[in-house]
Structure 1
Amino acid sequence: MKVVTFGEIMLRLAPEGYYRFVQAESFGATYGGGEANVAVSLANFGIDASFVTKLPKHDIGQSAVNSLRRYGVDVSKISRGGDRVGIYFLEKGASQRPSKVIYDRAGSAIATAQPSDFNWDDIFEGVDWFHFTGITPAISDSAAAICLEACKAAKRHNVTVSCDLNYRKNLWSREKAGQVMGGLMEYVNVCISNEEDASDVFGIKAANTDITGGKISHEGYKEVAKKLADTFHFDKVAITLRGSISASDNNWAAMLYDGSDYYFSKNYLIRIVDRVGGGDSFGGGLIYSLLNSYAPQDAIEFAVAASCLKHSIEGDFNQVSVDEVNKLAKGDGSGRVQR
């Protein structure tokens, strides 16, 4: 089984621990980005995962490539060129102080890439699954055009397509997001959303839900999933259900809708070490479980357990194994030392 993901990998600069930006005298450097994070998750699960992007030929671009290669991600289809690697600064929140992200990604190599930089018919040869997020078409108009070409090529090659809506208000408006993403959705088989994205991008809202108060309505999200599936003819819709108690403590669960039935995972009360990449780790877990023909209930339990574990890991990448995820999904969440 082979999966291709497409998007931007960025340099992440973060103060040590829970220091604020204004306190920091140094920043730790790692790499990450929505679709890159999914590719690493899948590679760690033993899937043949390939990440496609454009990166400069200089040493920082190569460092980003190397950060993926170390986990076994196929980087052979990455286009090289452009002037810069996108950067994001992360200040990790704690207790009632939220995390903060500042982007410095304008003019990055993928933002200025052109459709001619990628041969999608070659890229999709022998591929089973293609994944992208709503972040990538938000980067630039040319990135959106490349996304559309990729989706059309995926359909020509009978590749299953998944998309995480992942709305980012700092990148584009709700109006433009709805317009661009609406045009891409006709190619998507599996839609992944969270408690806010469906509302922000398509105006589809869950009733009786207060995400800032940690109140999640199962019936409301059933309605959201059905509206998404009926509107865009998705085969499956997965919605993550995050109840935010504080920046440090969340309730975490998800729902899967397969067009006829709704499947809810167990809920985890998680103490957060690093929230960034949490949704991507869910996407990676869901893709893995569906590729391996898990029953719907087992699929959503695996995806949520994978993401639960990611919240305990520093950095964007979810560095866990299938065995570790299965152990948690089957009920061993004690955190006892493994000897």
Structure 2
Amino acid sequence: MAKIITMGEIMLRLSTPGNSRFIQTDCFDAVYGGGEANVAVSCANYGHQASFITRLPAHEIGQAAINALRRYGVDTSYIARGGERIGIYYLETGSAMRPSKVIYDRAHSAMAEAVPEDFDFDAIMQGADWFHWSGITPALSAGAAQLVQAACEAARRHHVTVSADLNYRRKLWTPEQAQETMRPLMKYVDVCIGNEEDAELCLGFHPEADVRAGKTDAEGYKETFRAMASEFGFRYVASTLRESYSASHNGWKALIYDSRETNPECQFHQSRHYDIAPIVDRVGGGDAFAAGIIHGLLTATPAQAVEFAAAASALKHTVEGDFNLVSAAEVEALAGGDGSGRVQR
């Protein structure tokens, strides 16, 4: 299988039990997670050699985060140790019409204060097949944005495929800041992943979609995908199409655009639709999709890749925690139509 590198910040996640609110709980459930770390875990679960790059403090909480990755087969040998603190985020899981809420406590984290000199990117990219990052990382700090650029430049030197999940986070930066940083980084990207909000706020494109009203017709995305690929040279553009009926009930499907396909009828591939209710934990759903796209494009056709990715991310909504703890066989079973949920004996 492939050697896949991901880079970002792994955080301590503190969640209120069940659907309790921040103001009513007196305890939190602790797990570890973060966009690119979640992708690494999924890729390792699919049998790839997955490595994660980050910077963590040299204390027990930093080590616990590393151990969480090692538990699922992720290579942590490229992780730098240093800094004072690990990033934290608090999660209140919503229900029905009450949305989930996230509160960040990640300023001045070890990864936010990392510099390119903390990593030998040429050594890391040697022999790699794929490098993945997301828009969360350059949003952390100017130094973290420099890390992304340095890693992408090394990936380009070593002919490594690069994917980026745009992953706009309004609590980390403004659309103006995002576009100023993200648009120049797109010249390194082969596979661009992001939903309609990401495309608009990170890159300035405007797909015709209203997820709150359940309007995610794939036709509204096609011209936007073509324009994005034309401007930045992407090989593929992929997106989930979430229909958000409530915090507990979502519709789910996905779309991929193959810019190298000359036949217009074969350029776009849409996955089957999933009706997800009740949702157990939607955090990490986009990361599960990104990992599914990476695995799918490495092992199958674009049409098969988007089916695998949509099924993988649909399954993530049924798994508590950031990590998508499912196997390739389980994803393939769902993508093949087995969504009955019957007990396996």
Which whole-Å CA distance do the structure 2 matches of 1:174 and 1:61 have between them? Answer: 31
Is 2:344 aligned against 1:338?
A: yes
State percent identity of aligned pairs: 59
SS in 2 for 1:328: helix
2:113 counterpart residue number: 112
SS in 2 for 1:146: helix
Is 2:248 aligned against 1:242?
A: no
1:108 positional shift: 0.3
1:323 counterpart residue number: 329
**Amino acid in the other structure paired with 1:194:** N
1:310 positional shift: 0.5
**Amino acid in the other structure paired with 2:138:** P
Normalised TM-score (structure 2) = 0.97
Is 2:220 aligned against 1:220?
A: yes
**Amino acid in the other structure paired with 2:87:** G
Match runs of 1:186-225 below 5 Å: 186-207=187-208, 209-225=209-225
1:217 positional shift: 2.0
Contact 1:135 1:167 in 2 (8 A): yes
Which whole-Å CA distance do the structure 2 matches of 1:136 and 1:321 have between them? Answer: 27
Which whole-Å CA distance do the structure 2 matches of 1:329 and 1:217 have between them? Answer: 21
1:167 counterpart residue number: 168
- Number of equivalent positions: 337
Normalised TM-score (structure 1) = 0.98
CA RMSD of aligned residues (A): 0.7
- Residues 82-141 of structure 1: CA distance to partner in whole angstroms, max 9, x if unpaired? 000000000001100000000000010000111110100111111100000000000000
1:200 positional shift: 1.2
**Amino acid in the other structure paired with 2:327:** S
Match runs of 1:71-220 below 5 Å: 71-207=72-208, 209-220=209-220
1:286 counterpart residue number: 293
Which whole-Å CA distance do the structure 1 matches of 2:338 and 2:194 have between them? Answer: 27
1:303 aligned residue (303, 309, 315): 309
Which whole-Å CA distance do the structure 2 matches of 1:328 and 1:218 have between them? Answer: 22
- Residues 120-165 of structure 1: CA distance to partner in whole angstroms, max 9, x if unpaired? 0111111100000000000000000010000000000000000000
1:195 positional shift: 2.3
Which whole-Å CA distance do the structure 1 matches of 2:329 and 2:115 have between them? Answer: 40
Is 2:15 aligned against 1:14?
A: yes
1:314 counterpart residue number: 320
1:253 counterpart residue number: 253
SS in 2 for 1:76: coil
SS in 1 for 2:102: strand
Which whole-Å CA distance do the structure 2 matches of 1:225 and 1:143 have between them? Answer: 27
1:302 positional shift: 0.3
- Residues 303-337 of structure 1: CA distance to partner in whole angstroms, max 9, x if unpaired? 00000100000000000001100000000011111
Which whole-Å CA distance do the structure 1 matches of 2:196 and 2:276 have between them? Answer: 17
**Amino acid in the other structure paired with 1:167:** Y
Which whole-Å CA distance do the structure 2 matches of 1:7 and 1:268 have between them? Answer: 29
Contact 1:225 1:239 in 2 (8 A): no
Is 2:274 aligned against 1:273?
A: no
Which whole-Å CA distance do the structure 2 matches of 1:333 and 1:16 have between them? Answer: 28
**Amino acid in the other structure paired with 1:184:** L
Which whole-Å CA distance do the structure 1 matches of 2:181 and 2:32 have between them? Answer: 27
Which whole-Å CA distance do the structure 2 matches of 1:76 and 1:113 have between them? Answer: 16
| Unaligned 5+ runs, structure 2 | 262-266
Is 2:264 aligned against 1:264?
A: no
Superposition misfits of 4+ residues, deviation over 2 angstroms = none
| Unaligned 5+ runs, structure 1 | none
SS in 1 for 2:187: helix
1:176 positional shift: 1.1
The farther-off stretch of 251-260 and 67-76 is: 251-260
2:264 counterpart residue number: none
1:3 counterpart residue number: 4
Which whole-Å CA distance do the structure 2 matches of 1:273 and 1:44 have between them? Answer: 20
Which whole-Å CA distance do the structure 1 matches of 2:117 and 2:185 have between them? Answer: 19
Which whole-Å CA distance do the structure 2 matches of 1:217 and 1:321 have between them? Answer: 30
Which whole-Å CA distance do the structure 1 matches of 2:325 and 2:238 have between them? Answer: 22
- Residues 28-86 of structure 1: CA distance to partner in whole angstroms, max 9, x if unpaired? 11000000000000001110000000000000000000000000000000000000000
